Amino acid sequence: MNILLLGSGGREHAIARALSFSHSLDKLYCYPGNPGIYDIAEKTDIEKLDFQEITEFCLSHNITLVVVGPEKPLADGISNILTQNGIKVFGPTKQAARLESSKGFAKEFMARHNIPTAKYKIFSAKDEKSAYEYLKNCKFPVVLKADGLAAGKGVIIANDFQSARVSLDSMFKGMFAEAGKTVVIEEFLQGREASILAICDGKDYITLPSSQDHKRALDGDLGKNTGGMGAYSPAPIVTESVMDKVNEKILKPAIEGLRVEGFPFVGCLYAGLMIDNDEPEVVEFNVRFGDPETQAVLSLFEGDLAKLLYSAACGSLDKSAIKEMKGKHACCVIIASEGYPDEYKKGFEITGIEDAEKTGAIVYQSGTKLQEEKLLGDGGRVLGVTCVSTTLKTAIEQAYDAIKKINFSNMFYRKDIGKKAL
């Protein structure tokens, strides 16, 4: 089959790599892609993320399946448009994508289906007064979440009433533009986080190995929230008994709930969990593969990913397309540009990727570009250096050894990825 992969990050590089090993894949195209992805997928002449243009490309290039990496086109309805044109898509409809594009929708959905999550209340800018009244009676810290998509930045944890009030005020005044004009105020959950990725066909699903992201910029989980500074998989906190609860209390009711409400979920459902005393609660749902989690998780993947995603898109999940992935561990360390997630400089030449790969590492690219045959840093998160081994400890050691081979001005990475799990 021919596949078009949409997106340009480390997540998409990891998806492209796993797809490229699929027996059922004939040709892989990408848009917009990145220099790492261009090594395994053909760059298309698509000029912009215009659903009509993408549809025409699919029809003229005999595309069997479109795999959508990021959330924005899903929230904007790309899946609806392609499906209407007879093109199979791995990625949910606009309606099902509300699980990520509206935190308020997600909370109310979880309430309707008894899915465990933090207690909450939703307020819009016009209910400002009642929001402040509600805050007065909250236990602190409290979590404020912009309802809409805010590129992973729409969550504020406030330690006391005063700072919560100031943050809420800024949100209502447009700090996250329209996305923050409605705010979910929710209880702060204690525990440890983990992520579960489920490949869904609308009524059934299969999970990939668990993982854990590192959201803060600095070692010891200090500093600002980022898109993710590293991940490892599997996450030992997700024991068999926790996974049973995730299946029974979270994934089954979510997939069944969306189906019953008329919006069957086809794609990767990402459950961001907080686990306390072996009890999982949902911190967030995303409607696509997580990043950087996918860089770790899909490095462990064995089987035919193209077949798996196509079968999901056709509504008849072929679980045999995925092989048992036990006994292996992956660690992905993100190399960012110093200053990220705030301001940073870019455009520095990156060297040493081949040497790092010679050690056995997989180097996924995210913020990179090619200029006159040189590879330059072109984003906050630049590379994801990933190693797979028989233990997490050796996967971590190998990833940090491989990083020593890589060099660019301003490179910056956390030194403690995976440490918590040892």
Q: Could you tell me whether strands 329-337 and 381-389 are parallel, antiparallel, or unpaired per DSSP bridges?
A: antiparallel
For 65, the token pair is 């399946």
283 binds, among ligand AMP, ligand GLY, none (CB under 5 to 8 A by kind): ligand AMP
Q: In 3D, which of 357, 336, 348, 340 has the Cα closest to residue 401?
A: 357
293 binds, among ligand GLY, ligand AMP, none (CB under 5 to 8 A by kind): ligand GLY
Taking the complex as a whole, the smallest distance from the CB of residue 326 to ligand AMP amounts, in Å, to 27
Query: What CA–CA distance (Å, rounded) separates 421 from 234?
Result: 10
Place of tokens 């049973």: 244
Between the two ends of the chain, the Cα-to-Cα distance in Å is 41
Stretch that binds ligand GLY, among 32-40, 288-296, 327-335, 360-368 (CB under 6 A): 288-296
Contact assessment for residue 5 and residue 19, using Cβ atoms and an 8 Å cutoff: yes
Query: What CA–CA distance (Å, rounded) separates 407 from 400?
Result: 13
With contacts defined by CB under 6 A, how many residues of the chain interact with ligand GLY? Answer: 7
Of all helices (H) and strands (E), which one includes residue 207?
A: strand 205-207
**Residue placing its CB nearer to ligand GLY in the complex, 152 or 236:** 152
For 53, the token pair is 């243009």
217 near ligand AMP, judged by CB under 6 A: no
Q: Which of 283, 287, 298, 313 binds ligand AMP (CB under 6 A)?
A: 283
118 binds, among ligand AMP, ligand GLY, none (CB under 5 to 8 A by kind): ligand AMP
Q: In 3D, which of 195, 232, 215, 269 has the Cα closest to residue 381?
A: 215
**Residue placing its CB nearer to ligand AMP in the complex, 147 or 186:** 186
Q: Which of 12, 147, 186, 293 binds ligand AMP (CB under 6 A)?
A: 186
Taking the complex as a whole, the smallest distance from the CB of residue 289 to ligand GLY amounts, in Å, to 8
Taking the complex as a whole, the smallest distance from the CB of residue 296 to ligand AMP amounts, in Å, to 16
Taking the complex as a whole, the smallest distance from the CB of residue 274 to ligand AMP amounts, in Å, to 6
Q: Is the dihedral of CA 18, 19, 21, 24 positive or negative?
A: positive
161 binds, among ligand AMP, ligand GLY, none (CB under 5 to 8 A by kind): none
The CA distances from residue 384 to 25, 148, 194, 349, in Å, are 25, 28, 19, 16
Which 215-234 residues touch ligand GLY, going by CB under 6 A?
A: 228
Q: Which residues are within 8 A (CB) of 84 and not within 5 positions of it... i.e. 6 or more apart?
A: none
Taking the complex as a whole, the smallest distance from the CB of residue 8 to ligand GLY amounts, in Å, to 15
Amino acid (one-letter) located at 245? K
291 near ligand AMP, judged by CB under 6 A: no
Q: Which of 152, 191, 236, 352 binds ligand GLY (CB under 6 A)?
A: 152
Q: Which of 54, 122, 143, 309 binds ligand AMP (CB under 6 A)?
A: 143
Amino acid (one-letter) located at 60? S
155 binds, among ligand GLY, ligand AMP, none (CB under 5 to 8 A by kind): ligand AMP
For 202, the token pair is 């609308």
**Residue placing its CB nearer to ligand AMP in the complex, 186 or 304:** 186
**Residue placing its CB nearer to ligand GLY in the complex, 290 or 303:** 290
Q: Which of 91, 272, 292, 377 binds ligand AMP (CB under 6 A)?
A: 272
Amino acid (one-letter) located at 247? N
107 binds, among ligand GLY, ligand AMP, none (CB under 5 to 8 A by kind): none
Q: In 3D, which of 126, 162, 116, 128 has the Cα closest to residue 142?
A: 162
CA atoms within 13 A on the CB side of 372: 3
Which 268-287 residues touch ligand GLY, going by CB under 6 A?
A: 286
CA angle (360, 333, 369) in 5-degree steps: 85
Q: Could you tell me whether strands 120-124 and 142-146 are parallel, antiparallel, or unpaired per DSSP bridges?
A: unpaired
Q: Which of 42, 108, 128, 193 binds ligand AMP (CB under 6 A)?
A: 193
Q: From the CB of residue 55, how many other CB atoms can be counted at a distance below 10 Å?
A: 19
For 384, the token pair is 């994801």
**Residue placing its CB nearer to ligand GLY in the complex, 186 or 304:** 186
Taking the complex as a whole, the smallest distance from the CB of residue 213 to ligand GLY amounts, in Å, to 4
Of all helices (H) and strands (E), which one includes residue 200?
A: strand 192-201
188 binds, among ligand GLY, ligand AMP, none (CB under 5 to 8 A by kind): ligand AMP
Note the residues at the interface with ligand AMP (CB under 6 A). Answer: 118, 143, 145, 152, 155, 186, 188-189, 193, 215, 272, 283-284
Note the residues at the interface with ligand GLY (CB under 6 A). Answer: 152, 213, 228, 286, 290-291, 293
